Amino acid sequence: MAKQGDLLSIGELAKVTGLPVRTIRFWSDQGVIPLPSRTACGHRLYGSDAVSTLRLVRALRDLGFDLKCVQQVVRGQTGIDTVAGEQIANIESEIRSLRLRASILRWMTGHERPAGDLPAVCRRAQLSPAERQELIDDFVDEVFADIEVNGRGAALDCAMRKLPARLPAEPTAAQTDAWVELADLICDRAWVRRLRRIVRAATVAGGDADMAEIQRRAAEHVPRAIEAGVQPGCPAADEVVDQVLGPDASPGRRKALADRLQELIDPRLERYWELLAVLNDREPAPPYTPRVEWLVAALRHYGDRFDRQGSAGEPT
C-alpha cells in the first residue's frame, strides 16, 4: 500500500525497521506502540514516529525487558534509568543461577555417581549462606565428636570451619564449582570416618613435644629436596631426614614417625583446604601431601636398609 501523506503501511514499516509484520502487529495489538489509524478498507497506517518507537521497543526487548515494562518506558510512565537498574539486578541473579547450574553439570561430568545423588547435590548447591555454614559446622562437629579439642586439635577445628560469610555478589565459576565439590565431599560418610581417624592421629601427634618442630623442619627442607630431584633412599635423602629428625634419631623412632605420618596422609583433606581457599578468594597453601609422602618413603627406605643389615648400628 502506498503512503497516504506521512503515514506508512505496516508493510512499509516492516521494511524500514527490519521487523516482521507479525511482530509489529502483535506489539500494536498489545498497546506497546500507539494504535494505528485505519484506511477505509481497514488497513493499518502508522505515523513516521512509529519508526523510532519500534526501534526503541526492539532495543528494550533485546535487553530482556518484558512488554509491560517496555510499554511504561514508551509512554513515559517510568524512566529508562529506573528500569535499567531493576534489569541489571535480574540479569545478575540469572547469571548466578546459570553459573550454579553449570557447576552442577560440571560436577556430574566429573563424578561417576548414581543419578539418584543428583537431587541432594542440587539441594546443597542452592543453600543459603547460613545453611552452608550450618552444614560445615555439623560436619566439623561430627569429625571432632569425642575427641579432645586442644592445642593442635583446636587449631584444626577452627581452620576447618572457615567458610566465608557469603559468596561474593558475583561468584566466579571456580567458586561455585568449589562449593558444589566441597558440599559433596563433606557429605561423604566414608570420608568423614576416615577424617576422624586422621584428626585423632593429628591430635595425638600434637601432644608430642617434638612434632611441631619436626613438621617445621620438614616444611623447610623436604620441598627443596623434592625440587632438586632427590629420591627417597639415596644418601642425600638420608641427610635431609637427619636435618628433619636430627642425626641421633633411632631406627625405631624413624619407623614410628613414618607410621604416624602415613596415617595423616589423605589427598581429600588437602583438597578440602584448597576448596576453602577458593571460596575465601585467597591463594591456597603450598601442597603438603607430596612432602609428607616423600618423608615417609625416606624414613621407610632407611628402616628397610637397617633391617637388611641386621645390626643395631646405623646403616651405611
CATH code where residue 48 lies: 1.10.1660.10
Closest CA to 32 of 13, 8, 53, 18: 53
- Residue 18 is predicted with a pLDDT of 92
Element spanning 198, H or E = helix 189-206
Tell me, yes or no, whether 1 lies in a domain.
no
Q: Are residues 246 and 173 in the same domain?
A: no
Q: Are residues 297 and 226 in the same domain?
A: yes
Tell me, yes or no, whether 310 lies in a domain.
yes
What sign results for the dihedral spanned by CA atoms 305, 219, 156, 245?
Answer: positive
- Residue 58 is predicted with a pLDDT of 92
- Residue 314 is predicted with a pLDDT of 47
- Domain span at 26: 8-74
Count: domains in the chain: 3
Whether this prediction's pTM lies above 0.75 is answered by no
Tell me, yes or no, whether 238 lies in a domain.
yes
Q: Are residues 44 and 117 in the same domain?
A: no
In degrees, rounded to 5, the angle at the alpha carbon of residue 278 between the alpha carbons of residues 274 and 280 is 115
Q: Are residues 106 and 52 in the same domain?
A: no
Tell me, yes or no, whether 146 lies in a domain.
yes
Q: Are residues 228 and 253 in the same domain?
A: yes
E strand residue ranges, the chain: 8-9, 37-38, 44-46
- Residue 305 is predicted with a pLDDT of 67
Given a cut of 50, the residues of the chain with pLDDT beneath it are: 1-4, 206-207, 311-316
Q: Among 156, 184, 207, where does a domain finish?
A: 207
Q: Are 218 and 299 in contact (CB under 8 A)?
A: no
Tell me, yes or no, whether 93 lies in a domain.
no
Condensed to tens digits (0 to 9), the pLDDT of residues 194-229 reads: 888 888 776 665 445 567 788 888 889 999 999 999
